[in-house]
């Protein structure tokens, strides 16, 4: 009776240090139990009672006799009453610390991880204590991942909850889950797009992202996000990260604004690279946490500002324009030679006099594009991050300004000339009712080709293909006048595919593949309506349909 109440249940406070050590050990094992979600991991009271019965003699029946015995016994063996892991673990568990971490890294921040094993609790499973300002850097899909110990089980659960028609094609789900899990790196971007892509490749089955249902897996496999503010105070807590970002993003920005940035990262009116190195990020203390901020160069037309932004993607996008502006300022003299030679803007109206403001805006965009081509600072190109690299790029690019201008001018004038020919052909076709449907579809095509930001976004090599696309439209129009039914038959398989692409293009994450597919559609128009003009690559409705299905 004494041993059970005093030593197992802890109702007696001994003068010996073994009780505190045992309590700490049991708390640690309880944490392991919560991590592994195995209620039988921790020995029960009977096992603990057996431990003490094997060590404490029968004449010990109260505190006085226990203390007298303990002092003598511990003098001979100080560890006699101290529990060991093997005394309190019911079986060999093999819980590797790296599989059940107490901290994980997200965007460079060390995020505390806590575990709870209580299926009735709202926070059953894993909880991340996320600093309030870090909300601004999170993509909700990033927290769909989980810890290494639950990585494969969660993937198995997601694959098991796919629609039955897809599951039947996958074979052994546990085997597939093992292969997929080995190829994924948790917390590097949103989970579901990557999972869908890798699982599709491993299985040979097209598994769209929309087929995976996070809500169908056990609740404990979905992270709880605890947003913490100043002093570690809980601001909000939920498994719905998107909702947390929406509701508390404003507070996060306000918290950031209250922390003044270092003076060297807050400058205005910069006209040359006089600020040393531009690192990818800096780390600074914000609300008690060490968080990343992202230095960026922000284009202000006549100069650039140096500032800290919330995310790496925002800083990269801003800096690309800021670096371009610094190149333009440094090369203003050779650029000024071509300012008055810029071609006119593209116009979707025949012989239309473009307003002066539009002409000036196009000239500015055209020259900016010349800078990108000459100094290799367009989208996807590596940017200089220190003065030496900037100066080297400036020296190499200055001599390329004239050739870049001529190439861009030549491509723009050729596209404009063919556009005007196409517009006149459409005007002429208006006299033929048989061409009404084809004319409407071609006009829509022209609007999708000649967008306002064309000169800023379309690669030069692609712009050089525009005349061929336009000649194909002219050939189609001529044939449609003669045989509108045949034109409609050719268009029939193209239209639903193109509509599906337009509906999905802005929601897809693989932007490079989206752009590639977008231009493949123009090549498909050539192949369908004017094959004599030869598409630049082999394309078909079937191949584009498959490519669209695989886009994530």
Query: How many CB atoms are located within 10 Å of the residue 114 CB?
Result: 16
Q: Distance between CA atoms of 77 and 74, rounded to whole angstroms?
A: 5
Q: Are residues 363 and 424 in the same domain?
A: yes
- What integer pLDDT is reported at residue 199 of this predicted model? 95
| Average pLDDT value for the chain | 91
Locate 261 and state its tokens. 């940035």
- What integer pLDDT is reported at residue 397 of this predicted model? 97
**Enclosing domain of residue 297:** 259-329
Residue where one domain finishes, among candidates 329, 362, 382? 329
- What integer pLDDT is reported at residue 39 of this predicted model? 59
Provide the pLDDT confidence category of residue 95 given band limits of 50, 70 and 90: low
Q: Are residues 57 and 111 in the same domain?
A: no
- What integer pLDDT is reported at residue 272 of this predicted model? 97
Residue 501 within any structural domain of the chain: no
Reply yes or no on whether the pLDDT at 94 is more than 70: no
Q: What is the pLDDT of residues 473-483, one digit of tens each?
A: 999 999 999 99
| Lowest pLDDT segment from 10-14, 20-24, 406-410, 519-523 | 10-14
Residue where one domain finishes, among candidates 88, 112, 138? 88
Residue 532 within any structural domain of the chain: no
Q: Are residues 344 and 480 in the same domain?
A: yes
User: H helices within 136-240, ranges in order?
Assistant: 148-160, 164-167, 173-183, 191-203
Residue 529 within any structural domain of the chain: no
Q: What is the pLDDT of residues 502-549, one digit of tens each?
A: 999 888 878 889 999 999 999 999 999 999 999 999 999 999 998 998
Reply yes or no on whether the pLDDT at 92 is more than 50: no
Residue in the block written with tokens 């918290």? 255
Q: Distance between CA atoms of 390 and 78, rounded to whole angstroms?
A: 68
Q: Distance between CA atoms of 540 and 531, rounded to whole angstroms?
A: 12
Residue 341 within any structural domain of the chain: yes
Those residues whose C-beta lies under 8 Å from the C-beta of residue 186, and which sit 6 or more positions away, are 145, 146, 147, 148, 151
DSSP 3-state of 394: helix
- Order across the sheet with 304-309: list the strands: 267-270, 304-309, 289-299, 282-286
- What integer pLDDT is reported at residue 42 of this predicted model? 52
Q: Are residues 216 and 166 in the same domain?
A: yes
Instruction: Report DSSP state, residue 310.
Output: S
The pair phi, psi for residue 391, each rounded to 5°, is: -65, -40
Provide the pLDDT confidence category of residue 38 given band limits of 50, 70 and 90: low
The pair phi, psi for residue 74, each rounded to 5°, is: -75, -25
Q: Distance between CA atoms of 351 and 363, rounded to whole angstroms?
A: 19
| H or E segment to which residue 306 belongs | strand 304-309
| Beta pairing partners, 410 | none
Q: Are residues 469 and 416 in the same domain?
A: yes
| Rama region for 108: left / alpha / beta (φ>0; ψ in -120 to 50; rest) | left
Instruction: Report DSSP state, residue 288.
Output: T
Q: Are residues 182 and 64 in the same domain?
A: no
| Beta pairing partners, 104 | 111
Q: Are residues 322 and 336 in the same domain?
A: no
Residue 438 within any structural domain of the chain: yes
Q: Are residues 174 and 311 in the same domain?
A: no
Q: Distance between CA atoms of 355 and 519, rounded to whole angstroms?
A: 30
Residue 520 within any structural domain of the chain: no
CB 429 within 8 A of CB 477: yes
Provide the pLDDT confidence category of residue 4 given band limits of 50, 70 and 90: confident
Number of domains, the chain: 4
Q: Are residues 339 and 321 in the same domain?
A: no
Which residue would you say has higher pLDDT here, 90 or 534? 534
Which residue would you say has higher pLDDT here, 548 or 11? 548
Among 438, 447, 512, which Cα is nearest to 475's? Answer: 438
Segment 43-48 mean pLDDT: 70
Percent of the chain past pLDDT 90, that is, above it, reads: 70
Residue where one domain finishes, among candidates 491, 511, 540? 491
Q: Distance between CA atoms of 290 and 284, rounded to whole angstroms?
A: 5
- What integer pLDDT is reported at residue 93 of this predicted model? 46
Which residue would you say has higher pLDDT here, 489 or 84? 489
Instruction: Report DSSP state, residue 189.
Output: S
Q: Are residues 383 and 439 in the same domain?
A: yes
Which residue would you say has higher pLDDT here, 119 or 130? 130
- What integer pLDDT is reported at residue 90 of this predicted model? 55
Residue in the block written with tokens 């991942």? 145
Q: Are residues 145 and 185 in the same domain?
A: yes
Q: What is the pLDDT of residues 351-390, one digit of tens each?
A: 767 888 999 999 999 999 999 999 999 988 999 999 999 9
- What integer pLDDT is reported at residue 113 of this predicted model? 95
Residue 522 within any structural domain of the chain: no
Q: Are residues 22 and 59 in the same domain?
A: yes
Residue 358 within any structural domain of the chain: yes
Among 413, 480, 411, 410, which Cα is nearest to 442's? Answer: 480
Q: What is the pLDDT of residues 304-326, one digit of tens each?
A: 999 999 999 999 999 999 999 99
Residue in the block written with tokens 């639950």? 150
- What integer pLDDT is reported at residue 14 of this predicted model? 84
Residue-wise over 49-79: b if at least 16 C-beta within 10 A, else e? bebbeeebeeebeeeeebeeebeebbeeeee
Q: Distance between CA atoms of 234 and 471, rounded to whole angstroms?
A: 63
């Amino acid at each position: 009776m004494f041993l059970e109440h005093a030593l197992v249940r802890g109702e007696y406070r001994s003068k010996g240090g073994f009780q505190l050590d045992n309590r700490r050990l049991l708390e640690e094992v309880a944490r392991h139990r919560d991590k592994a979600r195995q209620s039988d991991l921790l020995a029960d009271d009977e096992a603990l009672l057996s431990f003490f019965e094997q060590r404490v003699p029968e004449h010990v029946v109260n505190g006085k006799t226990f203390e007298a015995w303990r002092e003598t016994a511990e003098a001979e063996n100080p560890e006699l009453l101290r529990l060991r892991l093997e005394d309190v673990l019911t079986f060999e568990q093999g819980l590797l610390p790296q599989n059940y971490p107490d901290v994980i890294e997200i965007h460079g921040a060390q995020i505390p991880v806590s575990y709870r094993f209580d299926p009735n609790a709202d926070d059953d499973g894993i909880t991340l204590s996320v600093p309030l300002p870090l909300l601004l850097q999170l993509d909700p899909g990033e927290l769909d991942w989980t810890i290494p110990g639950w990585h494969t089980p969660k993937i198995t659960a997601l694959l098991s909850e796919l629609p039955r028609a897809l599951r039947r094609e996958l074979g052994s789900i546990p085997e597939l889950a093992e292969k997929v899990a080995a190829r994924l790196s948790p917390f590097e971007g949103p989970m579901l797009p990557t999972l869908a892509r890798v699982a599709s490749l491993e299985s040979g089955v097209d598994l769209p992202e929309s087929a995976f249902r996070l809500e169908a897996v056990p609740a404990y496999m979905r992270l709880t996000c605890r947003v913490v503010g100043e002093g570690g105070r809980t601001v909000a807590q939920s498994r719905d990260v998107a909702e947390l970002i929406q509701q508390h993003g404003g507070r996060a920005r306000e918290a950031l604004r209250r922390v003044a940035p270092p003076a060297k990262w807050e400058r205005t009116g910069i006209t040359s690279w006089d600020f040393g190195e531009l690192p990818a990020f800096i780390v600074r203390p914000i609300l008690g946490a060490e968080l990343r901020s992202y230095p960026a160069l922000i284009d202000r037309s006549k100069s650039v500002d140096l500032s800290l932004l919330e995310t790496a993607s925002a800083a990269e996008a801003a800096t690309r324009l800021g670096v371009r502006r610094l190149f333009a300022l440094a090369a203003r003299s050779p650029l000024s030679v071509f300012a008055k030679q810029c071609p006119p803007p593209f116009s979707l109206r025949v012989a239309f006099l473009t307003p002066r403001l539009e002409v000036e805006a196009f000239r500015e965009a055209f020259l900016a594009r010349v800078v990108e081509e000459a100094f290799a600072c367009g989208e996807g190109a590596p940017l200089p991050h220190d003065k030496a690299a900037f100066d080297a790029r400036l020296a190499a690019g200055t001599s390329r300004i004239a050739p870049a201008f001529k190439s861009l001018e030549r491509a723009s004038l050729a596209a404009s000339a063919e556009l005007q020919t196409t517009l006149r052909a459409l005007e002429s076709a208006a006299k033929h009712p048989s061409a009404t449907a084809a004319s409407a579809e071609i006009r829509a095509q022209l609007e999708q080709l000649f967008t306002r930001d064309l000169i800023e976004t379309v690669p030069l090599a692609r712009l050089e293909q525009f005349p061929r696309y336009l000649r194909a439209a002219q050939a189609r129009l001529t044939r449609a006048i003669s045989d509108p039914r045949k034109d409609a038959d050719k268009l029939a398989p193209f239209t639903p595919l193109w509509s599906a692409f337009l509906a999905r293009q802005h929601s897809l994450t693989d932007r490079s593949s989206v752009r590639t597919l977008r231009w493949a559609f123009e090549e498909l128009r050539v192949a369908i309506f004017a094959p004599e003009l030869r598409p630049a690559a082999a394309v078909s409705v079937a191949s584009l349909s498959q490519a669209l299905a695989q886009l994530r």
